[in-house]
Structure 1
Amino acid sequence: MKQKQLKRLRALGKVLFAAYVVFIVYFLLFSDWYGRTGVTATYRYNLELFKEIKRFIIYRRELGAFAVFTNLFGNILIFVPFGFFLPMGSKRRSFFVTLFYSFGLSLCVEIFQLITKVGSFDVDDLLLNTIGGVIGYILFAVCNMVRRHYAAGKRKKSGKR
């Protein structure tokens, strides 16, 4: 891939990343659809790892499929684009950088929810969101590997190195 095309791809990654961050901040903190309709009187938090995950699995029939899917898989899926776009728009494409920033953004969201009493602080959400960021990075790495393989094949056919 030519340098000019690579710069365009990185610029696209930065624009998509910025748009995604705006979306995720709105969705996780202010969206009525996600239950952010008002402030509660008390602080709500869960500091026990896997407590809410187990609860959603045990009471899946009572809670309903949508609630279970939203809590367990939604927290993963919402961070997959973060893990994909972060290395796409950045020169640092490290697994550990993506892991760190995924955890960091999730921690900021959870702390904001705790302080503002909108939603709740949940260590299970930290885990699930971070897993989503890591899955996004893995998808980026696979796509990047395929792109490089394809570009190397094109160079080989044209006789360029």
Structure 2
Amino acid sequence: MLKKFYQLIILPYTLFLLYLMFFGMGRYQYDDNIVRMQPIISTIWFIEGTISWFEIVKIVLGNVVMFISFGFLGWFFPHLQDLKKLLTAFVSAIVIVEALQYFSRLGVFDVDDIILNTFGVYLGFLMKNFIEKRFANRIV
């Protein structure tokens, strides 16, 4: 039942995330193309420049939490049951999305986003494995 629900919801959820990444949360088109390639530095700058802890948690933690569901992609694509294959496919896809944000100027190509999103996928993969072991007979 859980796998079937996941298979039903993952496509609309992915489309929702893409909307957020390009148009949601007050996004606008930048005048310049922006690339942030120094790992962790842009996140530290963001934290230092943000007064509201709510904004910090929303953006930084959101970049992890919003991608946990992609750790379960093995339920939709059986060849992604392997962590290495899953992370390779995800990093490839998220780099394309970040590049599209860069070229459209509807976002920033930020290596920290790639790191945080991928960490979310890894956490989701761990959760999926836990659920499969703990509730093996109830997730079909």
Residue 109 of structure 1 is aligned with which of 94, 97, 103?
97
Q: Which moved more, 1:44-53 or 1:95-104?
A: 95-104
Alpha-carbon distance in 1 for matches of 2:97, 2:54: 22
Alignment map for 1:81-96 (pairs within 5 Å) = 81-84=69-72, 86-92=73-79, 93-96=81-84
Alignment map for 1:58-137 (pairs within 5 Å) = 59=48, 62-84=50-72, 86-92=73-79, 93-137=81-125
CA contact (8 A) 1:102 1:129 kept: no
Alpha-carbon distance in 2 for matches of 1:64, 1:9: 37
Amino acid at match of 2:77: S
Deviation at 1:127, TM superposition (A): 0.3
Please report the TM-score for the alignment, with normalisation by the length of structure 2: 0.86
Larger RCO (CA within 8 A; separation ≥ 6) = 2
CA contact (8 A) 1:43 1:120 kept: yes
Amino acid at match of 1:21: T
Amino acid at match of 2:9: L
CA deviation profile, 1:18-69 (whole Å, cap 9, x unmatched): 12211111111121xx231x21211111011111122234x16x43112211
Larger gyration radius, structure 1 or structure 2? 1
Residue 35 of structure 1 corresponds to 26
Amino acid at match of 1:125: D
Deviation at 1:10, TM superposition (A): 4.3
Q: How big is the alpha-carbon RMSD for the aligned residues of Structure 1 and Structure 2?
A: 1.8
Aligned pair 1:15/2:8, yes or no?
A: yes
Gaps of at least 5 residues in structure 1 are 1-7, 152-161
Residue 51 of structure 1 corresponds to 41
Alpha-carbon distance in 1 for matches of 2:9, 2:74: 12
Structure 1 pair 63–102 and aligned structure 2 pair: CA distance change class (3 A): farther
Please report the TM-score for the alignment, with normalisation by the length of structure 1: 0.76
Q: Which moved more, 1:65-74 or 1:8-17?
A: 8-17
The size of the alignment, in residue pairs, is 136
